[in-house]
Amino acid sequence: MLAELSPALIAEVKRAAKLLAAQSRICILTGAGISAESGIPTFRDKQTGLWENYGVEDLATPEAFMRDPELVWSWYQWRRQIVADKVPNPAHHALAQWQYHAQTSEQEVILITQNVDDLHEQAGSTVTHLHGHLWRNRCGQCEIPYQDQLRASYDGQDTVSFEDELITCPHCNGYIRPDIVWFGETLPAQAWETAEKAAAKCDVFISIGTSRLVYPAAGLSQLAKQSGAQLIEINPDPTPNTIVDITLAEKAGIILPLFIEEITSL
């Protein structure tokens, strides 16, 4: 596998793996890019981004849902259809393997994701979701969860509904919405606290497959840096920044399995 990469990238992979093997507290932030190789489109990549035909302001804000709940609901139902049959790729599996390996080593590997899919969980990882869950619903008015285990029902009985028709809450008659953090909304307090703590105390912060444009999640790498951590970025199209120590400009599904190989053999 290493032979397929450029000598410069191989050297960087080895440098990163050596750094990681020597440090005990690792914090990882993943974004849409880690699920790209599973066939889930990212939000902003030019060719396949979900935003090519739709404006963010028309779909992923509370205002959009108030203005046109049917449009927003049907867009999420469409996204669920796209994601439903997708499975974890080598990058998700490598992170799960690393967390498993860390249980019997000195390392702590904390995984935080901006993704709303459940591919990290499917791969066997323990993960904190900053932006909610695609497979959960709640009332947009009283906030009570609705059919909380949508994904479980899909897995078990294939009964998940991808109907476009709006559902109303049995408690207050408000419209049911996906349990996802929209632009302008506050992140779930407990998840954010976990992420902030992990970023502030880690030795190495790894940012994988995120454009680092959406705050506050994007601020976690700055917090880690200010607290003395080294920063690694894995992204075939690296983000323009000055604070990253090691940039690995390659797909996560190629880099992460190599890490595991290197780290566990060091």
Residues that bind Zn ion in the complex, under the rule CB under 5 A: 139, 141-142, 169, 171-172, 174
- Kindly report the number of other CB atoms within 10 A of residue 63's CB atom: 12
The answer to whether 71 contacts ligand NAD (rule: CB under 6 A) is: no
The yes-or-no answer on residue 101 being catalytic is no
The answer to whether 88 contacts ligand NAD (rule: CB under 6 A) is: no
The answer to whether 45 contacts ligand NAD (rule: CB under 6 A) is: yes
Number of residues that bind ligand NAD (CB under 6 A): 28
Helix axes 252-265, 7-22, angle to 10 degrees: 50
Q: Is the CB of 212 or the CB of 265 nearer to ligand NAD? A: 212
Q: Is the CB of 128 or the CB of 235 nearer to ligand NAD? A: 235
**Residue type at 40 in one-letter notation:** I
List the one residue from 28, 29, 36, 191 that touches ligand NAD (CB under 6 A).
36
Which residues, at least 6 apart from 119, have a Cβ–Cβ distance to it below 8 Å? Answer: 34, 35, 38, 40, 86, 87, 88, 89, 92
List the one residue from 5, 214, 246, 249 that touches ligand NAD (CB under 6 A).
214
List the one residue from 37, 143, 245, 261 that touches ligand NAD (CB under 6 A).
37
Least Å from the CB of residue 134 to Zn ion: 20
Q: What is the C-alpha to C-alpha distance for residues 218 and 199, in angstroms, rounded to an integer?
A: 11
The answer to whether 236 contacts ligand NAD (rule: CB under 6 A) is: yes
In contact, 175 and 65? CB cutoff 8 Å: yes
Alpha helices per DSSP H over the chain: 7-22, 56-59, 62-67, 69-84, 90-102, 119-123, 150-157, 189-201, 219-226, 252-265
- Greatest Cα pair distance, the chain, in angstroms, is 61
What is the Cα 134 distance to its own chain's centre?
12
Which residues, at least 6 apart from 89, have a Cβ–Cβ distance to it below 8 Å? Answer: 34, 35, 37, 38, 119, 253
Query: Taking contact as CB under 6 A, which single stretch among the options 42-50, 93-101, 152-160, 195-203 is the one that binds ligand NAD?
Result: 42-50
Residue 256 DSSP SS3: helix
The answer to whether 211 contacts ligand NAD (rule: CB under 6 A) is: yes
Q: From the candidates 92, 120, 131, 133, which is the catalytic residue?
A: 131
The answer to whether 90 contacts ligand NAD (rule: CB under 6 A) is: no
By a kind-dependent CB cut-off of 5 to 8 A, residue 251 interacts, out of Zn ion, ligand NAD, none, with: ligand NAD
List the one residue from 17, 60, 187, 204 that touches ligand NAD (CB under 6 A).
60
In contact, 29 and 244? CB cutoff 8 Å: no
Q: What is the C-alpha to C-alpha distance for residues 88 and 110, in angstroms, rounded to an integer?
A: 18
By a kind-dependent CB cut-off of 5 to 8 A, residue 174 interacts, out of Zn ion, ligand NAD, none, with: Zn ion
Question: Which positions touch ligand NAD (CB under 6 A)?
Answer: 31-34, 36-37, 42-45, 60, 114-115, 131, 180, 182, 209-211, 213-214, 234-237, 251-253
By annotation, the residues acting in catalysis are 131
